[in-house]
């Protein structure tokens, strides 16, 4: 629980810093940017704002997909262990019932043996 709070705090701080840089870069209308060349004849200048926003969106989408994949995997494992636990509980109940039945049989045989020994004397 403590690790989750720390992780959420760090993520929130990174998000606020990212928003700050996005707002400052967008409002400053800076000419700094990244050049993307598709072929030898021309290039496109992409603003830093667009690159940071695109990177953030890719990271968010990747994290979402990764959590879905892990969630499905862990859900399958949880279901597997739940079924296994249920089978073990049923087997344990059967073993307990068998043990109690054997104890009752032994008790009745002990009583019968005592009665037979008393009648023999």
Give the per-residue pLDDT at 27: 59
Strands 33-39 and 42-47: antiparallel
The β-bridge partners of 37 are: 43
- pLDDT tens digits along 33-44: 666 666 666 666
pTM confidence score: 0.41
Which one, of 22, 76, 28, 78, lies nearest residue 54 by Cα? 22
Low-confidence stretches of the chain (pLDDT < 70) are: 1, 22, 25-49, 121
CB distance 50 to 35 below 8 Å: no
Phi, psi of 32 (to 5 degrees): -65, 140
């Amino acid at each position: 629980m403590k690790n989750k709070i720390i992780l959420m705090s760090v993520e929130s701080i990174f998000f606020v810093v990212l928003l700050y840089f996005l707002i400052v870069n967008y409002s400053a209308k800076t000419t700094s940017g990244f050049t993307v060349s598709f072929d030898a004849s021309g290039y496109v200048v992409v603003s830093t704002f667009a690159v940071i926003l695109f990177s953030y969106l890719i990271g968010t989408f990747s994290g979402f997909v990764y959590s879905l994949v892990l969630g499905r995997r862990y859900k399958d494992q949880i279901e597997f262990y739940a079924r296994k636990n249920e089978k073990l509980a049923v087997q344990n109940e059967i073993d307990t019932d068998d043990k109690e039945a054997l104890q009752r049989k032994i008790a009745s045989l002990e009583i019968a043996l005592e009665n037979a020994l008393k009648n023999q004397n």
